[in-house]
C-alpha cells in the first residue's frame, strides 16, 4: 500500500503538524477536530470491514460521508450544530490532503459537495437580575468551598468569562487594588486563539478575589478544587448547575431555563446592553472576533422592547374613518 494512499498517515500529519504547527489552533479546537476524525474512522472501518490502520483515502466518498452524518444524528443523537462541526473538521482534513497531494483534488471536491445543514437560531438564554442574584446567593460563604464558589460565580458574571477562561485564570492575571482604588481593579483573560483582553472588576469582586488568593503565589490558578488541583471547565460547569438547582428553589421560573456557565456570560452581555453600554464595547468585553456574534444580544433586547411596547399599546375599538367620508378633505381635493 502506498503511503500516500493510506488514510492513517495523513490523519497523523493533519492532527500533529497542521492543527498544532501551522494553524496553532486552541487545544479545545484540536480535540474537537480529533474527535470528529476518530468517529469518522471508526464508522468507515465498520462499513468497509477493514481494520482502522488499513483504511485508504479512497474508502471515503461523498455517499459514505452522508451516511456518517446521518449516523451521528440518528444514533448518537447529535444536534445540527454538532453535525455541522464534525463536517467542517472532515472538510478541513480533505482540504489538507488535497493541498499536499493534487491527485486528490477531485476527491476533496466530491466531499465538499456535502453541505452543512441549516438550523433555526437558538434563542439566547440569560438570567434576569433577580435570578442572577439568587444564583450568586446560593453558595454558603461561611465555608471554604462556598466562598470559592461565590467568588467564581461573581467573577464570571462580572467579567463574562468563558468556563475555560475562568479555569485557566492565574493569580498573576489579576490586578487587584485596595481602598478607594478598588474600582481600578481588572483582570486579563486569555480567550480563544490565544487572544487576551482586559476586563474591569467591581469592588465586590475585587474584595472576594483578594480574600481567595491571599498568601498564594502568582503562578497558581485562582480557582482550585477541594484537593487543591486546578478546576477544569467541566468542574465549573458542574458547580454552576449545582447552584442553579439551589436557586430554582427560590425562583421556580428558573426551571424553564437551561443554566450553565455560558448562561452567565449571556447574562453579563444582556445586562451591559440594558445599562447602556454600546455594542462594540460589549464585543471587546466578551472577546468576540466579529461584531455579528455580539449582535444577537441587541436582537434579544429589541424583542424585549417590542414585547413591552405591545403591553403598553392602547386597545382602540374605534374603526378608522375612510378618507371619502371626510368632507373637508373632499372639498380640498375638488379645488385642485
Mean pLDDT of 243-252: 95
CATH code of 129-311, in short, is 1.10.443.10
Query: pLDDT value at position 245?
Result: 95
C-alpha dist (Å) from residue 154 to 66, 174, 241: 45, 15, 15
Which tops the pLDDT comparison, 50 or 289? Answer: 50
Residue ranges of the chain that CATH labels 1.10.443.10? 129-311
Which tops the pLDDT comparison, 301 or 65? Answer: 65
Do the beta carbons of residue 97 and residue 108 sit within 8 Å?
yes
Count CA atoms within 13 Å of residue 75 on its CB side: 8
Active site residue ranges = 162, 192, 262, 265, 288, 297
> Does 318 have pLDDT greater than 70?
no
Residue ranges of the chain that CATH labels 1.10.150? 7-112
Query: Of 3-17, 245-259, 311-325, which gets the smallest average pLDDT?
Result: 311-325
Rounded Cα gap, residues 187 and 176, in angstroms: 8
Give the tens place of pLDDT for each residue, 197-245.
999 999 999 999 999 999 998 899 999 999 999 999 999 999 999 999 9
Instruction: Tell me the sheet residues that pair with 170.
Output: 221
| Per-residue confidence band for 310, with pLDDT thresholds at 50, 70 and 90 | low
Rg (CA), the chain: 27
> What's the predicted TM-score (pTM) here?
0.72
Query: pLDDT value at position 202?
Result: 92
Give the tens place of pLDDT for each residue, 22-53.
988 888 889 999 999 999 999 999 999 999 99
> Does 325 have pLDDT greater than 70?
no
What mean pLDDT is reported for the chain? 88
CATH code of 7-112, in short, is 1.10.150
Give the tens place of pLDDT for each residue, 66-112.
999 999 999 999 999 999 999 999 999 999 999 999 999 999 999 99
| Per-residue confidence band for 336, with pLDDT thresholds at 50, 70 and 90 | very low
Instruction: Tell me the sheet residues that pair with 186.
Output: 175, 200
- Among candidates 217, 246, 239, which has minimal Cα distance to 167? 239
Mean pLDDT of 318-336: 58
Q: What is the dihedral of CA 31, 36, 42, 45, to 10 degrees?
A: -130
Give the tens place of pLDDT for each residue, 104-154.
999 999 999 999 998 777 778 899 999 999 999 999 999 999 999 999 999
> Does 332 have pLDDT greater than 70?
no
Amino acid at each position: 500500500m502506498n503511503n500516500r494512499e493510506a488514510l492513517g498517515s495523513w490523519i497523523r500529519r493533519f492532527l500533529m503538524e497542521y492543527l498544532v504547527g501551522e494553524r496553532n489552533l486552541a487545544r479545545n479546537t484540536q480535540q474537537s477536530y480529533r474527535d470528529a476524525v476518530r468517529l469518522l474512522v471508526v464508522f468507515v472501518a465498520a462499513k468497509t470491514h477493514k481494520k482502522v490502520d488499513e483504511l485508504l483515502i479512497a474508502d471515503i466518498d461523498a455517499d459514505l460521508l452522508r451516511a456518517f452524518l446521518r449516523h451521528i444524528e440518528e444514533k448518537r443523537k447529535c444536534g445540527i450544530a454538532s453535525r455541522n462541526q464534525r463536517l467542517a473538521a472532515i472538510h478541513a482534513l480533505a482540504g489538507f490532503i488535497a493541498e499536499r497531494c493534487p491527485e486528490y483534488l477531485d476527491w476533496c471536491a466530491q466531499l465538499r459537495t456535502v453541505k452543512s445543514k441549516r438550523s433555526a437560531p437558538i434563542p439566547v438564554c440569560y438570567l434576569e437580575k433577580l435570578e442572577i442574584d439568587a444564583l450568586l446567593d446560593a453558595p454558603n460563604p461561611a465555608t471554604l468551598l462556598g466562598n470559592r464558589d461565590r467568588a467564581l460565580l461573581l467573577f464570571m458574571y462580572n467579567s463574562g468569562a468563558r468556563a475555560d477562561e475562568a479555569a485557566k485564570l492565574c493569580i498573576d492575571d489579576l490586578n487587584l487594588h485596595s481602598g478607594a482604588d478598588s474600582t481600578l481593579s481588572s483582570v486579563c483573560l486569555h480567550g480563544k486563539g490565544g487572544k487576551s483582553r482586559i476586563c474591569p472588576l467591581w469592588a465586590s469582586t475585587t474584595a472576594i478575589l483578594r480574600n481567595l488568593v491571599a498568601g498564594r503565589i502568582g503562578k497558581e490558578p485562582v480557582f482550585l478544587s477541594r484537593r487543591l488541583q486546578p478546576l477544569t471547565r467541566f468542574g465549573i460547569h458542574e458547580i454552576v448547575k449545582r447552584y442553579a438547582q439551589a436557586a430554582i428553589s427560590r425562583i421556580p421560573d428558573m426551571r424553564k431555563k437551561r443554566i450553565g456557565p455560558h448562561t452567565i456570560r449571556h447574562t453579563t452581555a444582556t445586562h451591559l446592553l440594558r445599562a447602556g453600554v454600546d455594542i462594540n464595547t460589549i464585543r471587546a468585553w466578551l472577546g468576540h472576533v466579529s461584531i455579528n456574534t455580539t449582535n444577537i444580544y441587541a436582537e434579544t433586547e429589541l424583542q424585549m422592547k417590542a414585547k413591552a411596547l405591545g403591553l403598553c399599546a392602547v386597545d382602540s375599538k374605534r374603526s378608522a374613518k375612510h378618507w371619502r367620508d371626510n368632507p373637508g378633505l373632499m372639498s380640498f381635493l375638488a379645488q385642485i
